[in-house]
Amino acid sequence: MLQPRLQRTISQPVTVEGFGYWTGRDVRVEFRPAEAGEGIVFVRDDIGSDARVEARAEYRADVPRRTNLCFEGVEAAMVEHAMAALAGLQIDNCEVGIDQAEMPGCDGSSLTFVEALDSVETVDQNAEVAQLEITEIVRLSDGESWIEARPVVDGGYRIEFELDYPYDAVIGRQSALIEVTPERFRQEIAPCRTFILEREAEALVRQGLGSRVTPSDLLMFSDHGLVGNELRFKNECARHKALDLIGDLALTGCQIVGHIVAHRSSHKLNAALARELVTRFSTVAPLGATA
Ligand SMILES: [Zn+2]
């Protein structure tokens, strides 16, 4: 195992404003410095400073297509793109204040969060980060979806995502592989946007959800191709799934050493792997688990 790096936080608060994709509600996010060992904690500023939910896999609510956290009635919704930004930039301790449950969708990627976090300094703290080294293969599956954690010999953290949309020829099959470092995350993963099929979006709008979202706010695919937008990468959809996975595995509260391969994995399966990895391989208390 490599020598663990020091934990890091940000030097001063920084804000992001936008609206939630699902609810359409305006939301203000304030990323704030946090003590070593605190981990990532969402704080509902609209309720009070005690209304907190730690970013841990056991607090994931069972909802489709996104990662919502809930602890004792305190909810933080669609946290995965901000979680990916924090994990990708190796910011271990941060309070994320929100004045609504749902995080802003921004452009559907982690770019807005990364730019905000990069606009302030990061600070090394006086404690080492908890490492979680995968020492044997772990595989979870759900129907045709599976996810596998494999050991590595070089101390790295790699994410590989295989996307397969057989019922949508435009997206089709694509894959993405990334060595998760802050530089590569910024350049190759953070700008990659979430995507939806036009017919799925129409079904959500009929349920009263997502009515404020336009095709310029994310990638929307019709039967004929991408609607009103341009791809940033040929395999942007697979890269976005890798982004989601990085965000979901940050719910371990640990720095992962291993290679994760996912095939059509969902947020639910990603979080199940996060829980399993902590149970099997965590040797020290994950961040946020000290209370
Ligand atoms: Zn996503």
For the chain, what are the domain ranges? 6-130
How far, in Å, is the centroid of ligand 1 from the Cα of 72?
25
CA distance 288 to 56: 8
Residue 151 is inside which H or E element, if any? none
What are 247's two structure tokens? 């965000």
pLDDT of residue 170: 79
From the list 81, 240, 259, 267, the catalytic residue is: 267
Whole-structure pTM value = 0.95
Strands 255-263 and 157-165: parallel
Dump pLDDT digits (tens) for 107-160.
999 999 999 999 999 999 999 999 999 999 999 999 999 999 999 999 999 999
**Nearest partner of 122 among 252, 41, 14, 253, judged by Cα:** 14
How far, in Å, is the centroid of ligand 1 from the Cα of 48?
28
Q: Could you write out the DSSP letters of every residue in 218-275?
A: SEEEETTEE-S---SSTTHHHHHHHHHHHHHHGGG-SEEEEEEEEES--HHHHHHHHH
pLDDT of residue 1: 58
Give yes or no: 267 in active site.
yes
pLDDT of residue 21: 93
Burial 3-14 (b: 16+ CB within 10 A, else e): eeeebbbbeeeb
pLDDT of residue 286: 62
How far, in Å, is the centroid of ligand 1 from the Cα of 108?
7
How far, in Å, is the centroid of ligand 1 from the Cα of 110?
9
Strands 74-76 and 68-71: antiparallel
Residue 217 is given by DSSP the state G
- Other C-beta atoms within 10 Å of 173: how many? 12
CB 233 within 8 A of CB 110: no
CA distance 207 to 242: 28
Residues of the chain with pLDDT under 50: 291
* Architecture of the domain defined by 6-130: 2-Layer Sandwich (3.30)
pLDDT of residue 291: 45
What are 31's two structure tokens? 């990323």
pLDDT of residue 94: 98
pLDDT of residue 211: 86
CA distance 101 to 271: 20
